[in-house]
Structure 1
Amino acid sequence: MIKGRRGDQEVIDGLLASARAGRSGALVLYGDPGIGKSALLRSTAERATDLRVLRSVGVETEAELPFAALHQLLRPELARAEALPEPQALALKGALGLGRAAGEDRFLIGLATLSLLSEIAEDGPLLCLVDDAHWLDRASADALLFAARRLDAEGVALLLAARDGFSAPGLPERRLGPLDAESAAELLTERDPHLAEGVRSRILAESRGNPLALIELPRTADPYTLMPLPRRIQEAYATRIAELPAGAQLMILLAAVEDTGDLGTVLRAAQRLGLGAESLGTAERAGFLAPSGGGVTFVHPLMRAAAVHSAAFDQRLVAHRALADVLDDRDDRRAWHLAAVALGPDEQVAVALERAADRARTRHGHAAAAAALERAAELTTDREALARRLAEAAVAAADAGLPERAQALAERAARLVEDSRSIARLAGLRARVAFERGSVHTAHDILLSGAARVAELDPVAAGLMLVDAGRNAWQLSDPQRVEEAAVRLRRLPLREEDGLNTAVDAVAAAAESLNHGPARALPGMRPLALDARGIERGSYGLRVNGAFVAGLVGEFEWQREISAALVEECGALGMTGWLPIAHVTLAASAICLGRFADAKADATEGLRIARDFGQPHRTGYLEGMLAWIAAVEGDDARCAELAGRCAEHFAVTGIANGVAWSEWAQAMLDLSRGRHTQALDRLESALAGPVRHQIQAVYFAADQVEAAVRAGLPDRAKEPLDRLAEWAGAARLDWADAMLARCRALVDPGDELFAAASRPHGRPMERARTELVYGEWLRRERRKREARTRLRAALETFQRLGAAPWAERATAELRAAGEIVAAPAVSGALTDLSPQELQIVRLAVTGLTNREIGARLFVSPKTVSYHLYRAFPKLGVSSRVELARLDLGAA
């Protein structure tokens, strides 16, 4: 029985009870070495007799073996992978070395892990225990955390134990503290009731409530030794190992350096060294090793560390050599054991490590590949091979999400490479790392420098870097940097067959937009959006750029068409890396088209994936759009929270498009609440910074005009009115002409202008706002009957869109116009759905199965089923058949 952990056990029992009820959850237990994390996991397994239990343990040196911990966890149930959707099954088998690696996106493996856990839980609640999670290989950690954040309605409880430093953002956590004095004394008495009182008092004081210390310190020869507690426990284990027969000591060392817990490998190596099964039995009876089935584990992780660190250097070499001798050349473990015995440069071992890295990369084990290539470089003397291995290690580290390590490796490689292709590749990599870390200015400068070095040798490589540089500078709203990239592009001797003409035009148009205003860029940008509409599959970068450009030229239907196809394709194929940015453009188009429920669902999903990928620039962008939606809904607190987060991201990245949305959001909230001067001041302040170069400065010009007029400051309406007029004249779009007419009518009211503003177009929110201001003017002109017609239309649209503050304004105006109106009820079938429910319903209507929907949304099929049937009552249906008959329209 565990002492002093009643509160911790109650929390875990709640997790188990939820799993028994069909709901899922995860919990991370943090604590110092020996504090009782492993004991609590063992106790949980003993008490969960009615749950299926899967276990995995992280091993300190297993970073070189991709998906080792995931394989250990799922191994008993891998046969059930056949029930998964084919792309997921192939991805998981390839990752675990059970099939051909198909090169799928690494997050597809996380989805496959989630689906397999859900499949196992079909037979009853499932408990997954992961000990020493801080030592998980990076690939396993990514997959498990991806799955853990999406657990919902599967009946799965996931419990991870880790030391400080293990990062599991988004998961609940609980810290295990030291035992209280009474529990510590009880445990010590139970373990060693005959201690002398002086020794007992000293151990209680020295252990500081650490359970493992209370168990092991009495066994040390000198319990008064002064050293850090984990080290003292490790030394106690080392002392116990030294008392064993030599054969048992060597058996323990073999198990310690073998890492994966493969009992067969340990026994074959032991046999090669003349050891028999009796040595394993001795180690087991001494309480160090626990053989079970085909595996062998240590009773406590510090025992492994003690075995390795207490062994002499020559003993460790003998163990590694024996293990290498019994492993196949295609086994990555062999390469690492050979590397462990290499005492100097060794090209054969370096080649073996390179091959291990290649295998790891095909299985998305990028962290393992980086480690193998870095070790290979340490064994290399040839300058060219050294540069190549360092460069490949840097790429793998970047792909693994290890930016600091990638940057250090890339800088070492950059000092050695001389060929243009390697120079360009490393410059691109260093810029990518800088961009992902939020240093966009640095990324731009790296690309310009790299392009200059290869311009004569490889104009195409230089051109690609300059296109990236121009795009980065545009996101920074930096006209000079964009112009510099555009000028250098024009100087390159590019040919038509190089395929860069469209990209060069895009950078030139971006420079024109930032230097002379977005209206000047419209003629050059519109063809780019048209071209993107014609790309049916693949070419993800061109289509994303095309979707962005479609938004810049005001063609929101085009933008949604391109983005929706991209999201669908990437979701179906598991190309998750492109999904955050595709969701950005999809949500932006939905906002502009007045489909706010869709926009909220799209942006929420994009934000979830962007956070998984660690993309602060995408995260800030999506938070800015969600702040805008919260403003329209009248959720003041949510708007402020999201705008604050967005501002924090902007402070780090300097990327302006997200903060443009958040500033606009706060101004929209002010405007809807009647705080006209505050709205005007906010927008003018935003325009004093980089927001002035963003397209939002055109789109919120109408709000600026309205705020100025309503604040009684018509002089401050002139500049935004001119800004909108210039853009609308160049765009020649119905909605832009209508908004311009509304702004002119606000400045100088009249039926003709209001009638022009009221003409039909594809932006319902803007039409409703026109009806509102038109109705207000008609009421002031004492034309109340006409006013009521306009105001009713406005109210109906605001209610349908979920725009609560605007509905309240329309209601107040209707009452002032003499109509008895109930309090506004902003609700409807779709607006009552949560973002996830709306996404699931929309996909279900298309006829996709729960498995197919789960694959698209990166959730389990059981979660799809749970949310679908929560949505049914809100929609007034009871089956998929009835759901298919609904006209869901635009949300």
Structure 2
Amino acid sequence: MVSASAVQIEVLRGRQGECREIRSLLAAPAGGALLLHGEPGAGRTALLAYAHRHRAGRRLLAAAGLADEAMLPYAGLQRLLDPVLDRAHALPERQRQVLRDALTGEGCPDRDQLILSHAVLGLLAEAAHDGPLLCTMDDLDAGDTPTVRVLTFVARRLPQLPVVLLLTAGNDTAAQAIPGRRLLPLDPSDSLALLTARRPGPPPPEPVLAALTTLAAGNPQALVDLADTLTPGQWCGTEPLPAAPPTDGTLGRTYRALLARLPRDTQGALLLAAIAAADLATPTGRAAAVDPVTLGRALRATGSGVEALVPAEAAGLIRITTPGGAEFPRPLARSMIEATASVTARRDAHLLLAAALDGTGSRLRRALHRAAATDGDDPALAAELEDAAAAHQDRSVAATALARAAELSDDPALATARQVTAARYAWQAGQPERAHALLHHLADTTGPLPHQAPPTPTGRSAASLPMTPPAPTGRSAPGLSMTPPSLAGRSAAGPQVTAATAGLAELLRGEMHLRCGRASTALPTLLAAATTLADVDRESALVALVRAGEAVCFSGDHYRYGEVARRVQALRRDGDPPWADLLTTLVAGVAATLRGEHAHGGPLLRRAVALGGRLRGAAVTPTALTGAAAAGLLVAVDAAAYRLAEDAVDLATDRGEVSLLPRALELRAMSEYWLGRHDAAAKSCQEGLRVARAAGQHATAGVHLGLLAVLSAVRADHDACLGHVAELGDTAAPGSRPYALAQWALGVLDLVDGRYADAADRLATLARPGTGRGQVLVQVMATPHLVEAAAHDGRPARARAALAVFDRWAGSTASPLRRALSARCHALLAPRGSAEAEEHFDRALCLHPADAATFERARTELLYGRELRRNRRPRDARDHLHRARQTFVLLGADVWARQTTVELRAAGESVGTPDRQAVRLLTGQQLRIAQLVAAGATNREVATQMFLSTRTIDHHLRNIYHRLGIRSRTELARALG
């Protein structure tokens, strides 16, 4: 029986539904029964204690199933009924005799089972004459089976009596046909609340809290045991967390007692299954499956088979599947089975599984089992683990292998290098807290690094250990995936080995600071890593500087980018591999762009895009692709940027490089924004936010929240925008990219609501031109909104400096959209009603792409129409306003459609409610054709724009007329609003 902690009893986190049901049963005049079932530590005993406290005058009869008395028939029943046995004299003689025989150990023949059950029911009815009863039996399935049988009979007949019967068990098979409620794992919020309430004082860092909730799998007792036993270092995140809840805690003792009741061969088979399931990747919260072939071989080696697991299945610990397989429906049960086993039993199980994996091709799994059964140093096994991990796609498993290889290494420098690689694998797997712990443990255990280190058993220097696992082809991108050619085959003798290892560790720390913490902290760490690596691992030093450049842009300290660019240029060499050439070209192009030297930066960035498109084989890495995508956005080749970012997402997903996914999704979302695919951009951001949070990348998550806020604001969705900004809260440092994105979003909302002065004030402070501070790139993207706000506010001078920067950038690109936005801005700043304003508006509409970014074209039409109406040209205004309104309706931009409707009515047009039904009747291609035709395009013009034949357009138009029940283009325009 699991004794609930005081915290569970007082608070009962996550059990509000069960508490309500218990109170409802206790308050009802009629009787009833309820079976609470769930895994050990789920809070069954705590809920019974809750019922005892809220029984509201009911007399209490309480007992528990005891494993020691499981072979004594009716032992549990005797303890439950003992307080009311004095009322047995009121029972009929036959019932009284059968009841006395059963409870005194004389037994009860099968023919008398019904009499005994009625006797118990009658005894409870007699006891209830003095007042209603509450009867509870904890751990029903741990006690004797005859008691279970009788109580199940009684539970079905309680509605006629003022008796409530509450039972608990490990599963619902203990007492079938009784209303049951399964105790589900606590959700993350309740788990966090229980952890922090149990341990007063400062809460642990968010990654530690997340790791603990995952480790406990929502089990309340596991959370309590962890909170009670963690060291201060583990609580603060400076020491590695345990692999399972403590074995000497309440939950551990419960599992040991539960396992002790199983037959010895079942215990051995269960441990084999638990360890075999541990080496297969299983998503959190999913059943842990066991490889049936491996398990079958290991069981046969012991002279047993899968049938040995049947008693464990009856106890709810495992589920036997077909053919010959098994799975652990409760991941926590699997880890506790392994954790509570003796060291000898675990070693023997690992050796059996290693033997079972001989000849199966599962090299890494076999080596891990051998390593788990090995004490002391084993250099050969450590080398095997390293090589097997390098070819494995699961980064989490590879991190485990390299960490164990470090422990088995007999050379300190080699052990250090392997530990750094293990941390890199853990980071890529989306486990930053584990990576931090490995690096912290490294600093604690190694002390000063030796000045020399021999070559690794594989012939590689420690400096060339992989920063990231290899591509699926087995080949690698130097400096990004495997051994840099500049170090491959180099003699490991000399100080460069330890310098490279230390530099790679600093590079990893800096990257984690950049994605998870503050960019201002990341920058000095990354620059120091580049300095350390410059002479011993030039290509890794280049990666460190590229990350440093990202940190500069993230924090808004653009004036420091020149330093990064100079150091990158010093590392550049003729004959660099394509990925290195791409990154050095990217940095040079970004530096020139930030200086406003677009004539110099533009060609460099376009070259980086071209290099990204030409990468092949092992040179293709997510880092290289995201660099090329970023270059594409800076020179406004949006389609190419989208393709590169999409490739980066796919590649990072295929390789399991979770740490790189949020950045790739951010760039994909940005390219989708410029392509006018706002819904797709929002989906990319939502996916990026989910991955970033799961991977502990809080800084990157802030970028996605900021982008979501901007996308919502642009669509005038106030509630969604403000929700994202509120979610970002005060975690974004002023001047950082998330902060600037949030300010941009709020500025757009101000603009939508007509608060032009507020919008201009907010948007004008995103960057400080001439100082190199602030988010210059975000300011450039927000410039069209700033100009619009300043023009309406009557203070156009406030936007002219930002527009000058935007013009220089837009003019250096070949993007019609950017030039259209520039022309629109100049139209807004021109004297009202002037020929200059009209000329700029006409130019903007000519430049706007017809097949992309239709939302921005509609915004230009709206602004142009508004300008014409205010200059008393309503007839000219109505054409532009009709086209704008039609596009907004098709895009579902309801707020903008309403604003356009207001302008149309002000221009003297009688406008009704748009017919959304017509929109729903058409396919996507038909909608586009209908939109162009309603706007006045001829069939030939539509065919040209859509790259179709005129005959195809005629065919589609006939179908459109038929679906909408219309006959002319005039009716089509009216049907579309």
Q: TM-score range by the shorter chain?
A: 0.5 to 0.7
Aligned residue identity for 1:761: L
**Post-superposition CA distance 1:287-316 (Å, at most 9, x none):** 999988746899999998998788776676
Question: Distance between the aligned counterparts of 2:860 and 2:310, measured in 1?
Answer: 84
Residue in 1 that maps onto 2:409:
380
Residue in 1 that maps onto 2:715:
633
Larger deviation, residues 298-307 vs 729-738:
298-307
Question: Distance between the aligned counterparts of 1:764 and 1:307, measured in 2?
Answer: 60
Question: Distance between the aligned counterparts of 2:260 and 2:349, measured in 1?
Answer: 20
Question: Distance between the aligned counterparts of 2:962 and 2:61, measured in 1?
Answer: 62
Unaligned runs of 5+ in 2: 1-14, 22-34, 66-73, 86-133, 146-247, 278-289, 450-461, 463-494, 929-958, 964-977
**Post-superposition CA distance 1:690-734 (Å, at most 9, x none):** 984332312322322322232344453444444444545555865
Secondary structure of the 2:79 match is coil
Residue in 1 that maps onto 2:377:
346
1:193 pairs with one of 63, 72, 77: 77
1:802 aligns with 2:892: yes
Residue in 2 that maps onto 1:755:
839
Residue in 2 that maps onto 1:789:
879
1:233 pairs with one of 251, 254, 270: 254
Residue in 2 that maps onto 1:401:
430
Residue in 2 that maps onto 1:556:
638
Normalization by structure 2: what TM-score? 0.56
2:548 pairs with one of 444, 447, 469: 469
Aligned residue identity for 2:863: V
Contact 1:320 1:338 in 2 (8 A): yes
Residue in 2 that maps onto 1:57:
none
**Post-superposition CA distance 1:111-133 (Å, at most 9, x none):** xxxxxxxxxxxxxxxxxxxxxxx
Q: Which structure has the greater CA radius of gyration?
A: 2
Residue in 1 that maps onto 2:752:
672
Taking the TM superposition and a 5 Å limit, the aligned residue runs for 1:526-605 are 526-533=603-610, 535-536=613-614, 538=616, 539=620, 540-560=622-642, 562-563=644-645, 580-604=662-686
**Post-superposition CA distance 1:506-555 (Å, at most 9, x none):** 323433444x4xx3345313442354246256435444323322322334
Question: Distance between the aligned counterparts of 2:581 and 2:637, measured in 1?
Answer: 22
Change (3 A) 1:833 1:665: farther
**Post-superposition CA distance 1:205-259 (Å, at most 9, x none):** xxx999864654899xxxxxxx965355346447757xx8x88887887777777
1:683 aligns with 2:763: yes
Question: Distance between the aligned counterparts of 1:801 and 1:300, measured in 2?
Answer: 46
Residue in 2 that maps onto 1:711:
793
Change (3 A) 1:304 1:557: closer
Change (3 A) 1:610 1:237: closer
Change (3 A) 1:399 1:351: farther
Contact 1:289 1:299 in 2 (8 A): yes
Aligned residue identity for 1:676: Y
Question: Distance between the aligned counterparts of 2:38 and 2:724, measured in 1?
Answer: 36
Larger deviation, residues 466-475 vs 279-288:
279-288
Unaligned runs of 5+ in 1: 12-33, 40-161, 165-173, 202-207, 220-226, 839-872, 878-891
Question: Distance between the aligned counterparts of 1:308 and 1:530, measured in 2?
Answer: 55
Question: Distance between the aligned counterparts of 2:857 and 2:330, measured in 1?
Answer: 68
Aligned residue identity for 1:650: A
Contact 1:758 1:767 in 2 (8 A): no
Offset of residue 812 of structure 1: 1.4
Secondary structure of the 2:847 match is coil
Normalization by structure 1: what TM-score? 0.60
**Post-superposition CA distance 1:237-282 (Å, at most 9, x none):** 47757xx8x88887887777777686645655545xxx99999999
Question: Distance between the aligned counterparts of 1:735 and 1:297, measured in 2?
Answer: 56
Residue in 1 that maps onto 2:25:
none
Question: Distance between the aligned counterparts of 2:762 and 2:559, measured in 1?
Answer: 26
Secondary structure of the 2:764 match is helix
Change (3 A) 1:334 1:606: closer
1:433 aligns with 2:512: yes
Change (3 A) 1:566 1:465: closer
The structure with higher relative contact order (CA 8 Å, sep 6+) is 1
Question: Distance between the aligned counterparts of 1:278 and 1:822, measured in 2?
Answer: 74
Aligned residue identity for 2:763: L
Residue in 1 that maps onto 2:122:
none
Contact 2:558 2:774 in 1 (8 A): no
Question: Distance between the aligned counterparts of 1:876 and 1:660, measured in 2?
Answer: 50
**Post-superposition CA distance 1:832-856 (Å, at most 9, x none):** 999xxx9xxxxxxxxxxxxxxxxxx
Residue in 1 that maps onto 2:860:
770
1:662 aligns with 2:748: no
Residue in 1 that maps onto 2:37:
36
Taking the TM superposition and a 5 Å limit, the aligned residue runs for 1:52-201 are 181=51, 188=64, 192-195=76-79
Residue in 2 that maps onto 1:525:
602
**Post-superposition CA distance 1:393-427 (Å, at most 9, x none):** 22332233222222333455575475155444434
Change (3 A) 1:800 1:657: farther
Residue in 1 that maps onto 2:91:
none
Larger deviation, residues 698-707 vs 183-192:
183-192
Aligned residue identity for 1:681: D
Residue in 2 that maps onto 1:123:
none
**Post-superposition CA distance 1:621-662 (Å, at most 9, x none):** 3433333332233321111112333456635xx894444343
Question: Distance between the aligned counterparts of 2:370 and 2:412, measured in 1?
Answer: 22
Change (3 A) 1:455 1:387: same
Question: Distance between the aligned counterparts of 2:737 and 2:256, measured in 1?
Answer: 56
Secondary structure of the 1:820 match is coil
**Post-superposition CA distance 1:738-791 (Å, at most 9, x none):** 444443443422123222222211354444333333333333332222232333
Contact 1:628 1:639 in 2 (8 A): yes
Secondary structure of the 1:433 match is helix
Contact 1:390 1:412 in 2 (8 A): no
Change (3 A) 1:571 1:6: closer
Question: Distance between the aligned counterparts of 1:599 and 1:291, measured in 2?
Answer: 44
Question: Distance between the aligned counterparts of 2:767 and 2:655, measured in 1?
Answer: 41
Secondary structure of the 2:910 match is coil
Secondary structure of the 2:77 match is coil
Contact 1:740 1:757 in 2 (8 A): no
Change (3 A) 1:266 1:284: farther
Secondary structure of the 1:822 match is coil
Contact 2:424 2:508 in 1 (8 A): yes
Aligned residue identity for 1:637: D
Residue in 1 that maps onto 2:227:
none
Secondary structure of the 1:364 match is coil
Residue in 1 that maps onto 2:534:
455
**Post-superposition CA distance 1:310-360 (Å, at most 9, x none):** 8776676667667767774867676556555544x231xx54365356546
Secondary structure of the 1:192 match is helix
Instruction: Tell me the percent identity.
Output: 30
Question: Distance between the aligned counterparts of 1:573 and 1:876, measured in 2?
Answer: 50
Question: Distance between the aligned counterparts of 2:314 and 2:920, measured in 1?
Answer: 64
Change (3 A) 1:645 1:523: farther
Question: Distance between the aligned counterparts of 1:421 and 1:833, measured in 2?
Answer: 59
Secondary structure of the 1:456 match is coil
Question: Distance between the aligned counterparts of 2:782 and 2:664, measured in 1?
Answer: 23
Contact 1:360 1:369 in 2 (8 A): yes
